[in-house]
Amino acid sequence: MAAKLSSDLRSGALVYHSHPKPGKLEIKATKPLGNQRDLALAYSPGVAAACEAIAADPAEAARLTIRQNLVAVLSNGTAVLGLGDIGPLAAKPVMEGKAVLFKKFAGIDVFDIEVAEHDPQRLINVVAALEPTFGGVNLEDIKAPECFEIEEQLRERMSIPVFHDDQHGTAIIVAAAVTNGLALAGKDIANVKIVASGAGAAALACLNLLVSLGAKRENIWVTDLEGVVYEGRPVLMDRWKAIFAQNTDKRTLADVIPGADIFLGVSAGGVLKPELLAAMAPRPLIMALANPYPEIMPDEAEKARPDAMICTGRSDFPNQVNNVLCFPFIFRGALDVAATTINEEMKLAAAHAIAALAREAPSDMVATSGGGAQPFGPRSLIPNPFDPRLILRIAPAVAKAAMDTGVATRPLADVKAYADSLTRFVFRSGFVMKPLISRARENPMRVIYAEGEDERVLRAVQAIVEDGLAHPILVGRPAVVESRIKRFGLTIRQGVDFDLTNPEDDPRYRDYVAAYLDVAGRKGITPDAARTLVRTNNTVIAAIAVRRGDADAMICGLEGRFQSRLRHIGDIIGLAPGIKEMSALSLVITSKGPFFIADTHVRQDPNAEELADMAIACASHVARFGMEPQMAMLSHSDFGSSDSPSARKMRAALELVRERAPDLVIDGEMAADTALSEMVRDKVYPNARIKGAANVLIMPNLDAANIAFQMTRAVADALPVGPILIGPAQPAHIVTPSVTARGIVNITAIAVVEAQEHARNRLASAAT
């Protein structure tokens, strides 16, 4: 008997589904509906314009409605996971689940549709009639053999992709796992023996795709509820199964499994008994993919065959061979070129992209998803579902295959630009960071990382090197860095991809001590203290490297206190001309857009002068993101409504900015809602200079700034970038201990672009 769900998982899942409100989905409006005019545009009479445009040209539906991004996840509930024919209502949680995965992994909107219809022909009519609603149809958990006929007919009748996920999504990911598993075992697909348990939707589609990859039909043995599928079997046969019928007197799974290189289980929990594994070929690939209970639990399989590579469909074991690795991305690619179908070439392109991705070094984002980030090997034959590169690799490959085979009705002008644009689904910071990432790549500078042994830095450096953003220098002990790189399965190499400064043994040690004494000797630092610090304090080492020109920018702060890091940077690197004190600008990316907050980390209670300096300095940092700064001096007071000292301070700061930088778009003093909503602002002070939502919020003091920043992060699930340190003479940034590897990549791009500007300024001043 297969293991059942643990009571902890069962009760956790029921709470997850019922709280805080029932189900996993809701409909969200994407347009404002706040006044009479919005109503007239969204609905009658304005909506008629959109209707008439589509009536005149149906292609306009892609521009004026959600259709091109909307997929039906449709089931009649006849083969729900491995739970069987539990009916359409009980299938609804699975369909809602698929909808969430489509949205989460590929930004595709889904209506889940559960149809109470067993009759294939009537179901076909229902689905075909839905064509005007959707850009694609994902058929789900419809049992074999009816599912074959249903899909076949719908593909003929409909001009949008119809894709039975249990067949083809599963087949694609199985093909990728088999490709990689056989490569590791050193076996050729043409010679391997494959034994399948299950002869339904998933099994037959997987076997067909394996045959197109080179597997020999005579090497494939299929079993189902009746046992071995053999020629002339009188019961439970259909024309799709018959393709794999063998001329044999073998009748059971136990009869056919000896010598098998691959066990493909897409049937039901617990059907593969551990004692059967002993007779399998060396280094067998065991795919126990029934959900939620696999044909054999991995621990049992491992005990019986320690040399086996084991996959399941579940997320709580390594090697999750599940169609979630495919369906969001194959639809993304198909929808983005308005493909009329998903054909064999598109499926093979997806399978190859998935197999190839697993062989790349693991991604930093997988490490933070809790899914583990194992390097390619028997326990990591295929990518983790949280691997952000899935969409970046699969969707463009599929879109290109659709274009190459002539089924794309809206071909892409530039596949590379399309692939770049997909980063918006991966990194919430992707769009906002894009201008800086592109500029960093143009001229990567040397960035030194004080905490060069930290896992997040190493994972970030892998991404930075792959993306060509910077030449990293790690402060760290070579043996530690080396062993961690190996442990995390990264491919970066010292001396090739990054340089190393070893605090315990660097030939420049004496010079660094001398350089440190040069700048800090007059601040009470004795030579003895300097020698110790230059051996033990990695922030000091990184800062001296920047000062001496051994690096162009530094990043520190993964551990320790912000203020002590700041002091070292101030002492060693010093302040840029015209800057009296440093400050910190933080970016938060929310669902309503990005905005900057200053000063979130440095100055306790800046006066009007200091606030004005800070606002002017912030503007150039914001401009690097390709945004026009719309700045607001924030207060509890709205345009003079209060005369408190802090309101007067913000008014005075505004006046100073206006004198010193008259072109800056800035206004105040104003409350936060006045700054963020034009509608509110129009009521308070319609003549304000800023337009739309302010994107730079200058706060009256550190408490206000830091609280606003942390609250936005927590309440709005906003993504932070920074803090960006403003004011050091050369680029230096202090991240916070909660930073992720992606956060380090982002701040690196910022530092590189700053360093490029410094280099240009140095050249310009040398020339004059």
Ligand X SMILES: NC(=O)C1=CN([C@@H]2O[C@H](COP(=O)(O)OP(=O)(O)OC[C@H]3O[C@@H](n4cnc5c(N)ncnc54)[C@H](OP(=O)(O)O)[C@@H]3O)[C@@H](O)[C@H]2O)C=CC1
* β pairing state of 719-726 and 583-590: antiparallel
Burial class of 306 by CB neighbour count within 10 A (0 to 12, 13 to 18, 19+):
exposed
Task: Select from 166, 336, 387, 754 the one that contacts Mg ion (CB under 5 A).
Answer: 166
Interface of this chain with ligand CC(=O)C(=O)O, residues 231 to 260, rule: CB under 6 A: none
387 vs 638 by CB, closer to ligand CC(=O)C(=O)O: 387
Least distance from C-beta 266 to ligand CC(=O)C(=O)O, angstroms? 8
Report the sign of the C-alpha dihedral through residues 131, 134, 135, 138, in that order: negative
Contacts of 738 (CB under 8 A, 6+ apart): none
Question: Per CB under 6 A, does 200 bind ligand X?
Answer: yes
Question: Per CB under 5 A, does 669 bind Mg ion?
Answer: no
Contact range with Mg ion by CB under 5 A, out of 23-31, 160-168, 252-260, 571-579? 160-168
* CA–CA gap between residue 266 and residue 313 (Å, rounded): 9
> Alpha carbon of 464 to those of 409, 482, 551, 657, 752: distances in Å?
36, 17, 16, 37, 11
658 close to 619: Cβ distance less than 8 angstroms = no
Query: Out of ligand CC(=O)C(=O)O, ligand X, Mg ion, none, which partner does residue 143 contact, by CB within 5 to 8 A per kind?
Result: ligand X
112 vs 141 by CB, closer to Mg ion: 141
The H-or-E segment that residue 565 falls in is helix 562-572
Question: Per CB under 6 A, does 82 bind ligand X?
Answer: yes
351 vs 553 by CB, closer to ligand X: 351
Task: Select from 81, 130, 245, 254 the one that contacts ligand CC(=O)C(=O)O (CB under 6 A).
Answer: 81
> Alpha carbon of 485 to those of 366, 479, 568, 698: distances in Å?
16, 10, 29, 41
DSSP state, residue 217 = G
Contact range with ligand X by CB under 6 A, out of 181-189, 196-204, 634-642, 751-759? 196-204
Q: In degrees to the nearest 10, what's the CA dihedral of 462, 468, 471, 476?
A: 0
Strand order across the 719-726 sheet: 666-670, 631-634, 696-698, 593-598, 583-590, 719-726
Contact range with Mg ion by CB under 5 A, out of 133-141, 324-332, 435-443, 719-727? 133-141
Burial class of 691 by CB neighbour count within 10 A (0 to 12, 13 to 18, 19+):
exposed
Amino acid identity of residue 29, one-letter, is A
Site string for ligand CC(=O)C(=O)O, 132-151 (x = CB under 6 A): ---------x----------
Question: Per CB under 6 A, does 78 bind ligand CC(=O)C(=O)O?
Answer: no
Pick from 261, 267, 227: nearest CA to 245: 227
Task: Select from 112, 114, 151, 166 the one that contacts ligand CC(=O)C(=O)O (CB under 6 A).
Answer: 166
Residue with tokens 């274009």: 403
* CA–CA gap between residue 651 and residue 404 (Å, rounded): 61
Choosing from 98, 187, 193, 434, the catalytic residue is: 98
Cis peptide leading into residue 700 (ω within 30°): no
- Phi then psi for residue 725, to 5 deg, are -80, 125
Question: Per CB under 6 A, does 627 bind ligand CC(=O)C(=O)O?
Answer: no
Least distance from C-beta 315 to ligand X, angstroms? 11
The footprint of Mg ion on this chain (CB under 5 A) covers a number of residues equal to: 2
383 vs 629 by CB, closer to ligand CC(=O)C(=O)O: 383
Query: Out of Mg ion, ligand CC(=O)C(=O)O, ligand X, none, which partner does residue 277 contact, by CB within 5 to 8 A per kind?
Result: none
Interface of this chain with ligand CC(=O)C(=O)O, residues 295 to 324, rule: CB under 6 A: 313, 322-323
Query: Out of ligand CC(=O)C(=O)O, ligand X, Mg ion, none, which partner does residue 271 contact, by CB within 5 to 8 A per kind?
Result: ligand X
Measured at the CA of 421, the angle between CA 417 and CA 425, to 5 degrees, comes to: 155
153 vs 291 by CB, closer to ligand CC(=O)C(=O)O: 291
The 8 Å CB, 24+ separation contacts for 505-508 are 508/550
Least distance from C-beta 300 to ligand CC(=O)C(=O)O, angstroms? 20
141 vs 638 by CB, closer to ligand CC(=O)C(=O)O: 141
Least distance from C-beta 18 to Mg ion, angstroms? 23
DSSP 443-461: S-EEEEESSTTSHHHHHHH
Task: Select from 180, 291, 320, 748 the one that contacts ligand CC(=O)C(=O)O (CB under 6 A).
Answer: 291
219 close to 191: Cβ distance less than 8 angstroms = yes
Residue nearest to ligand CC(=O)C(=O)O (CB): 291
Task: Write b or e for each residue in 250-262: b if 16 or more Cβ atoms lie within 10 A of its Cβ, otherwise e.
Answer: beebeebbeebbb
Which stretches within 1-114 are classed as H helix? 7-18, 36-42, 47-56, 61-64, 87-106
Residue nearest to Mg ion (CB): 166
Question: Per CB under 5 A, does 364 bind Mg ion?
Answer: no
174 vs 308 by CB, closer to ligand X: 174
Contact range with Mg ion by CB under 5 A, out of 61-69, 134-142, 585-593, 735-743? 134-142
Residue with tokens 């990264």: 490
437 close to 754: Cβ distance less than 8 angstroms = no
Burial class of 652 by CB neighbour count within 10 A (0 to 12, 13 to 18, 19+):
middle
Least distance from C-beta 71 to Mg ion, angstroms? 15
Beta-strand runs (E) in 419-498: 445-449, 470-475
**Number of C-beta neighbours around residue 153 at 10 A:** 18
Interface of this chain with ligand X, residues 245 to 284, rule: CB under 6 A: 266-268, 271
Task: Select from 208, 219, 323, 635 the one that contacts ligand X (CB under 6 A).
Answer: 323
Task: Select from 96, 112, 224, 550 the one that contacts ligand X (CB under 6 A).
Answer: 224
Question: Per CB under 6 A, does 326 bind ligand X?
Answer: no
Question: Per CB under 6 A, does 381 bind ligand X?
Answer: no
Q: Is 98 a catalytic residue?
A: yes
Interface of this chain with ligand X, residues 117 to 156, rule: CB under 6 A: 143-144
Residues that bind ligand X (CB under 6 A): 79, 81-82, 143-144, 166, 170, 197-203, 224-226, 236, 266-268, 271, 289-291, 313, 321-323
Q: Which residues bind Mg ion (CB under 5 A)?
A: 141, 166
Active-site residues, by number, are 98
Query: What residues line the site for ligand CC(=O)C(=O)O (CB under 6 A)?
Result: 81, 141, 165-166, 291, 313, 322-323
